[in-house]
Amino acid sequence: MPATKVVVNIPGEVPYDVRIGDAVLEGLGTSLKRLPAVADAPHLLILTDTNVAPLYLDAAKASLKIAGFRVSDVVVPAGEEAKSVAVAGEVWNAMAALGLTRDCAVVALGGGVVGDLAGFVASTYMRGIPFVQVPTTLLAMVDSSVGGKTGVNLEAGKNLVGTFKQPAYVAACTATLVTLDEREWACGCAEIAKAAVIDSDEFFFWMMDHAEAMVARADAVVAEAIARSVVFKANVVAADKTESRGVRECLNYGHTLGHAVEALAGFGTFSHGAAVAEGMRFAARLGADVVGTPPELVEAQGELLDGLGLPSLAWSAPAEEMLAAMKRDKKTRGGQVRFVMPRDIGAWELVGVDDAVILEHLRAWEASK
């Protein structure tokens, strides 16, 4: 199947391509040699993790070396714990020890954790060097590899330290998805579902019609879902690169409760996608009270998430603890927690909600578990 190309064109930034296909990793070196920001780089550093390295590091290095690049690699521990200031410091020191200069580049080979970490160290090392995203998970392909958000976690919460830096290129090789387990597959499906709810009737009902094929990992449907999600996110980011105009906030749908779930359950207890799916269910029910979200939407969204292998979590935490965790999130303004709520499919609103209302819904959520 030929590769699909989506161009991400953000005002004030150099446009970049997202290539989606099953032979994109094999052609990585050739693609980067055509890329002005990277073509003449004297040294490339591949940043990957202990899960991905045994699977795809050799193939990535071979493709880059055949194209004439000098390549080194740094392998970090797999998991959310690697997305930390401490690990970033280790990578910065490794980059310095390798003699990387401002005309070198970083290649992120892995999922969202690797991509966020690689983008963060690339954006800060020597005040910024180019980086390339080579996502190997469905979640990273449809969401975190596109748009330029980078970051690391603190004990207080996720992504509290970070930068905005667009990649020079994104190579989404669908052949790497065959090694994903069911948990990671469903994780990516959650972000696709989020995009579909926020984007349009057409995308949402296409997903409803193709949920079974997504679970079965039908090649053509998977490639189409990735492309649709990338187009959606590219359009949002083009309208609001740094989340300063209120447009990009829609990408946080499901993340207000979702990040609190991850923090209180312990990072890694639930996949990011499972937490976001739980957050989508909560935000839609909250929206029914606050902005008049139609009950039919709440039900249809639940059906889609169920169909994608994302049932409600059999977990809860005390309402007061959940609210406190939400207040530590960077989406809070003036001490008030804000939620993205769907008014309808393709229509959303960012709303600050009073603590009393949130607590009422959190207690109902807690009681339902």
Q: Convert the pLDDT of each residue in 300-312 to its tens digit.
A: 999 999 999 999 9
Could you give the C-alpha distances from 132 to 175, 185, 227, 311, in angstroms and in order? 18, 23, 18, 34
Q: Which CATH number fits domain 182-367: 3.40.309.10, 1.20.1090.10, 3.40.630.40, 3.40.50.300?
A: 1.20.1090.10
pLDDT reported for residue 132: 98
Range 4-179 has CATH code 3.30.1360.10: no
pLDDT reported for residue 176: 97
Phi-psi group of 126: left, alpha or beta (phi > 0 → left; psi -120 to 50 → alpha; rest → beta): left
- Token pair 């690699």 is at which residue? 73
Buried b (16+ CB within 10 A) or exposed e, 230-241: bbbbbebbbebb
For the chain, which residues score pLDDT lower than 70? 1
Task: Identify each DSSP E strand in the chain by its residue range.
Answer: 4-8, 16-21, 44-49, 71-76, 105-110, 131-135, 152-154, 157-161, 170-173, 337-344, 347-353
* Residues annotated as catalytic (active site), given as ranges: 127, 149, 191, 233, 243, 248, 252, 255, 259, 272
DSSP track, 107-157? EEEESHHHHHHHHHHHHHGGG---EEEEE-SHHIIIIITSS-B--EEETTE
Nearest to 230 by CA among 184, 167, 285, 183: 167
Q: Convert the pLDDT of each residue in 75-98 to its tens digit.
A: 999 998 999 999 999 999 999 999
* Token pair for 149: 């958000």
Tell me, what DSSP letter sits at residue 254? T
List Cβ neighbours of 215 (8 Å cut-off, separation of 6 or more). 185, 189, 307, 308, 309
Q: Convert the pLDDT of each residue in 10-58 to its tens digit.
A: 999 999 999 999 999 999 999 999 999 999 999 999 999 999 999 999 9
Question: What is the C-alpha separation between 2 and 19, in angstroms, rounded?
Answer: 10
Helix axis angle, 319-327 to 355-367, nearest 10°: 130
Question: What is the C-alpha separation between 215 and 227, in angstroms, rounded?
Answer: 17
Question: What is the C-alpha separation between 299 and 283, in angstroms, rounded?
Answer: 13
pLDDT reported for residue 195: 98
**pTM for the full predicted model:** 0.92
Question: What is the C-alpha separation between 219 and 1, in angstroms, rounded?
Answer: 9
Phi-psi group of 40: left, alpha or beta (phi > 0 → left; psi -120 to 50 → alpha; rest → beta): alpha
pLDDT reported for residue 3: 84
pLDDT reported for residue 67: 98
> Are the C-beta atoms of 70 and 42 separated by less than 8 Å?
yes
276 φ, ψ (degrees, to nearest 5): -65, -40
**Residue 229 is which amino acid?**
S
Tell me, what DSSP letter sits at residue 98? T
Question: What is the C-alpha separation between 322 and 259, in angstroms, rounded?
Answer: 10
DSSP track, 185-219? HHHHHHHHHHHHHHH-HHHHHHHHHHHHHHHTT-H
List Cβ neighbours of 35 (8 Å cut-off, separation of 6 or more). 132, 168, 169
> Are the C-beta atoms of 278 and 244 separated by less than 8 Å?
no
Q: Convert the pLDDT of each residue in 228-251 to its tens digit.
A: 999 999 999 999 998 888 899 999
Question: What are the residue boundaries of the structural domains of the chain, listed by start?
Answer: 4-179, 182-367
> Are the C-beta atoms of 193 and 145 separated by less than 8 Å?
no
